Amino acid sequence: MINSFREVLKDLRQKGHVEDITKPVDIRHIAALVDESEKALVFHNVNDYSMPVVSGVANSRERIGAAFGCSYEDVYKLLDLGLSEPIEPKLINGGPVREVFITDDEVDLFELPVPLFSIHDGGPMITAGVTIAKNASGSLNAGIYRFLLREKNLTGIDIVTPNDLQLLALEAFRRNEPLPITINIGTHLAINVSATYRAPMNQNELAIAGGLMETAVRLTPGETIDVPCISDAEIVLEAEILPTGWTKPEGRFGEFTRLMGGLHWNPHVRVKAISMRRDAMYYALHMPWEVILPGAPNREAAVRRAFNAANIDLVNVNITPGGSCYFHAIVSIRKRPGDAKQAIMAGLVASDIKHVVVVDEDIDVFSGTDVEWAIATRVQADRDIITIPDLRAKPLDPSLHITPGRTPITSKCGIDATIPDDLPRERFERIEYAYAGQVDIKNYLGDSEAEEQVGPVADINIFDLALRIEALIEKKPLYFDALTKKFEAEGFKAVTKALGELHSAGKLWQDIQGRLCLTGTDFAAEPPPSL
């Protein structure tokens, strides 16, 4: 069973998703190189550092799916399995991460190859640290936070967003006590995904990860603090969030919004010990894609649960990269009267989603063109756009007006881009090209042999053909294409001429759907009274 970061990396390498860089590289160049690469990169020779750097493992949908052995679109199913069938972590003594142990004055964070990401960052940031803390009942909480390197044993931590770790740190601050934590770098992607899930306070994210991996996350007790660490991690920092209050500058940093975040005020973290594998690799979680893409299945799962609770027949969900895999949800449904607006309300209360677009099942939620087309052709703004003010907001939303000391609020919006119930369905019938799927352009290009062509048919009696068509459409209206297929032996041109004869005789008409029929029959469309 794959339960470690390096096993995931090995599996991805075998599947062709990893590129090894053996040439010397400046650590300042790593972020830009990963951004340019179509694969995850392993830098084996980083100038001035003895440890390899891995980055880009989860910065594509295809790669995340490959890491979990399924399509990216099905990762949410594994997450649901982890939520419904969690496996509690297993406590062992030791493990690979205890092969090297450094404490006291020997702790030197500057020996870790922590890259610089953006030119405006406040300094090198640890980005892939799965942080574990204990609450008062002894339950474990896991999340991913960034740590700004300050001194050889001191970092900042960004916990400005309201969450469980912030609450635990606040409680310790009020007691004027440090909060012990372990920072686990280089863990199975299932742990990273679960750590970003907003679970209830007493629900263990590590148990969710166990359900996702179908095997228990292995923990080992802390050596200098009373908090366990992940025994199969590459590197572990045993540390304490100091009771300094939210008074220390931290940041700036390139955030999941693909924008530079501002300077935040946060506590400091004192690192008491470093534990690692003998041949440890440093995992630098590449911003923003390795943050937003693994987090999308969490929000998709939340949307699916909300829709299920609202009894809405959901077809598909796309938590879009354009919305930073956080703010935007495109959902397709099998609509009953009232369902579209109900779906908007359900989507807006799921996670911290800001904008929801609801479309019919014929719309591909993963096609921006398809969704935009639905909005363009099916929406009336006064009827189909809903706004709701004064809802909980994500503090990193740059469009907010932030008031210090107050939880930020936002306005949310939903767009009903489904076909209106009170309009004729034929208005929304898509173009379907004649003979699509029956012809192949490759047969007409280059030196390939052309498909057999039916030549013109000689001596067709157009008048006789017109009578046969007349008899046919008297019983049932037919589209022009259907008629050409019915009389394929006579040929396209002969059918058009025969229809011309019927039209000139005043016999040819159309029904409301545009099919050909006879004048004066029950099928014949009638012009509007105003005409």
- In this prediction, residue 101 has a pLDDT band, given cuts at 50, 70 and 90, of very high
Residue 253 or residue 275, greater confidence:
275
Is 70 exceeded by the pLDDT of residue 259? no
CB distance 499 to 516 below 8 Å: yes
Residue 401 or residue 101, greater confidence:
101
CB distance 179 to 133 below 8 Å: yes
Q: What is the mean pLDDT of the chain?
A: 88
Q: 3-state class of 141 per DSSP?
A: strand
- In this prediction, residue 324 has a pLDDT band, given cuts at 50, 70 and 90, of confident
DSSP bridge pairs for 410: 391
Is 60 exceeded by the pLDDT of residue 337? yes
Instruction: Evaluate whether the domain defined by 5-289 bears CATH number 2.30.110.10.
Output: yes
Residue 21 or residue 406, greater confidence:
21
Give strand ranges (E) for 242-336: 248-250, 264-266, 268-276, 282-283, 314-319, 328-333
- Fold entry, domain 441-518: Arc Repressor Mutant, subunit A (1.10.10)
Q: 3-state class of 358 per DSSP?
A: strand
Instruction: List, by residue range, all CATH 2.30.110.10 domains of the chain.
Output: 5-289
Per-residue pLDDT tens over the stretch 183-242: 999 999 888 888 887 766 567 889 888 888 889 999 999 999 999 999 999 999 999 999
pLDDT at 176: 95
CB distance 200 to 139 below 8 Å: no
pLDDT at 153: 95
Instruction: List, by residue range, all CATH 1.10.10 domains of the chain.
Output: 441-518
DSSP bridge pairs for 319: 329
H helical segments located in 339-386: 339-349, 368-378, 381-384
Instruction: List, by residue range, all CATH 3.40.1670.10 domains of the chain.
Output: 310-426
d(CA 407, CA 427) in angstroms, rounded, equals: 46
pLDDT at 451: 57
Per-residue pLDDT tens over the stretch 15-41: 999 999 999 999 999 988 988 988 999
Cα dihedral: 428, 433, 435, 438 (round 10): -100
CATH, range 310-426: 3.40.1670.10
pLDDT at 530: 74
- For the ranges 47-51, 392-396, 486-490, 519-523, which has the lowest average pLDDT? 392-396
pLDDT at 457: 53
β-bridge pairing 264-266 and 248-250: antiparallel
Torsion sign over Cα 493, 499, 505, 509 = negative
Q: 297 phi and psi, to 5 degrees?
A: -60, -30
- In this prediction, residue 46 has a pLDDT band, given cuts at 50, 70 and 90, of very high
Residue 351 or residue 227, greater confidence:
227
Per-residue pLDDT tens over the stretch 353-380: 899 999 999 999 999 999 999 999 999 9
Count CB atoms within 10 A of the CB of residue 369. Answer: 8
Token pair in block for residue 126: 């640890």
Residue 330 or residue 63, greater confidence:
330
pLDDT at 200: 61
Is 90 exceeded by the pLDDT of residue 291? no
pLDDT at 299: 84
Per-residue pLDDT tens over the stretch 411-454: 899 999 999 988 888 788 887 888 888 888 888 887 766 555 55
pLDDT at 432: 80
**430 DSSP 8-state letter:** P
Token pair 């008899």: residue: 471
Residue 325 or residue 35, greater confidence:
35
123: left (phi over 0), alpha (psi -120 to 50) or beta: left
What average pLDDT does range 507-528 have in this prediction?
Answer: 92
Per-residue pLDDT tens over the stretch 140-193: 989 889 899 999 999 999 888 778 899 999 999 999 999 999 999 999 988 888
Percent of residues, the chain, with pLDDT higher than 90 = 54
Is 80 exceeded by the pLDDT of residue 455? no
